[in-house]
Structure 1
């Protein structure tokens, strides 16, 4: 791995106990990976695609999955595959995938994949088709590889990905990670308060529409500034407020299309958006 420079071995100590919520996703992945080194390649798991607003635990889940299942976690940075010579990028992606096959059973993590593949659509006009060929090689490997490599890709905006990327048999499931519920926030609060050695009995701020990353940020700032949680919360602006339209659009897209990461089954958006009605003038003479 060090000699190639194409993949990075994650050496963290994260585990599912450090991650609140996501019960259905945790159960799905651990059941799919329960048998190491399955002899029949058709019974080996392929991976999952995770979609959510920023800060909902996608990357944290990827890092914890390897430790929970006893597999090494390899991190693939698409940008590091780009080469300056003709054909070097294509050779790099093939070499990286060969290394992942040789390291199996393992977990292969590709973070923010929609940004890494953002130039695929107009690749012929921008980079002479290099990104398109890289994407084609990766798609073929996702569909045809027989090694025990569990691929976990994270994404914040699936509309930027080509539709063939998320089709069946490339991944075992496409999961949507929504903002944490009240009970899940309670678990996240307990984890973060214990992590930063804060008083668990102190009053907590109103965390409506907060993500897990924002709860962690509130606890870290309280420890850093030596102030109560209610005061440190004044320095946190939720992403559901700064990007409310984007979050709602993502929820509406995922409803009926993705699996729910918190409970078994298809995700449904419980927040109904009110329909806009055309305003009619009371005076019929007014056009």
Structure 2
């Protein structure tokens, strides 16, 4: 890296070192690296989660005796979990490593476990950094023993949990999940994560902020009418704005091509809300997440009303 920097720039440049690191990670096939990009200003809502993680990581930089461990994020699909991880790295000046557990699986006996240990050693060497494991319940789906994999998933899960509990490196772990019931209870116990947050569908204030962000990104006029966005996620708002720009149509016309996940998976989202009620921290305000009883009763009335059939 030093030789490359001297040849290209006649001096030592950090970018040359980062280029070598990025190539090394890519060649290993175990991890991917994300650097730079947008900060929290490009992400609507999640005010409590943003404040919690920013304060934890910036305090870690000033006080080495206390290290932040990470957070677990639960939510329906499309509520901004993955985008939050990337923005977090930019906000606190750390690279974001993404671990694809599927890439760790090998065909030879013991190969999967060795790849897991190698990936964790690489993550330790990259500290300080942010580690993202997306949809972790699918990554370790065979850990319960239901899958016929001779216990490989269980051993990989055990190795990861031991590292999560004992590692001394300055790695902030962000695990995301859409179905918490598929995770073993020991995964989210105290001292493995600093907090377990629930990211609900955005409210009116958060939606207005998200609409503003994506209008600016895709060059849509601020006075153009927005469609009915009840139960929409941030991903669906972005999709509507992108389609409007792509097809050169109005937002209302583009919305006809968007089917909210709250309609296609309403039952699973309802179960997830019920599980998170009183068990998880809210991502939008301080304290525990509390499911709205009014919205639940409204959904029940809608399903039982014969006029809606």
Q: TM-score, normalized by length of structure 2? A: 0.85
Unaligned runs of at least 5 residues, structure 1: 277-287
Q: Once the two structures are superposed, what CA deviation does each residue of 1:27-86 show, in whole Å capped at 9, x if it has no partner?
A: 00001000327432xx10000000000110000001111110001111100001011111
> For residue 64 of structure 2, what is the aligned residue in structure 1?
39
> For residue 49 of structure 2, what is the aligned residue in structure 1?
25
Match 1:64 to one of 71, 87, 92: 87
More off after superposition, 4-13 vs 157-166: 4-13
> For residue 199 of structure 2, what is the aligned residue in structure 1?
177
> For residue 135 of structure 1, what is the aligned residue in structure 2?
157
Alpha-carbon distance in 2 for matches of 1:12, 1:146: 25
Q: Once the two structures are superposed, what CA deviation does each residue of 1:237-282 show, in whole Å capped at 9, x if it has no partner?
A: 1111111111111111100000000001000001354499xxxxxx
- SS in structure 1 opposite 2:61? coil
Unaligned runs of at least 5 residues, structure 2: 1-24, 301-309
> For residue 9 of structure 1, what is the aligned residue in structure 2?
33
1:112-191 to 2 correspondence within 5 Å? 112-122=135-145, 126-191=148-213
> For residue 280 of structure 1, what is the aligned residue in structure 2?
none
Q: CA deviation at 1:235?
A: 1.1
> For residue 284 of structure 1, what is the aligned residue in structure 2?
none
- CA 93–36 in structure 1, closer or farther in 2 if over 3 Å, else same: same
Report whether the alignment pairs 1:95 with 2:118.
yes
Question: 1:37·1:148 contact (CA, 8 Å) conserved in 2?
Answer: no
> For residue 278 of structure 2, what is the aligned residue in structure 1?
256
- SS in structure 2 opposite 1:2? helix
Q: Which has the higher contact order (CA 8 A, sep 6+)?
A: 1
Q: TM-score, normalized by length of structure 1? A: 0.92
Greater percentage in helix? 2
> For residue 267 of structure 2, what is the aligned residue in structure 1?
245
Alpha-carbon distance in 2 for matches of 1:165, 1:211: 27
Alpha-carbon distance in 1 for matches of 2:170, 2:62: 7
Q: Which runs of 4+ in 1 moved over 6 A?
A: none
Paired residues in the alignment total: 273
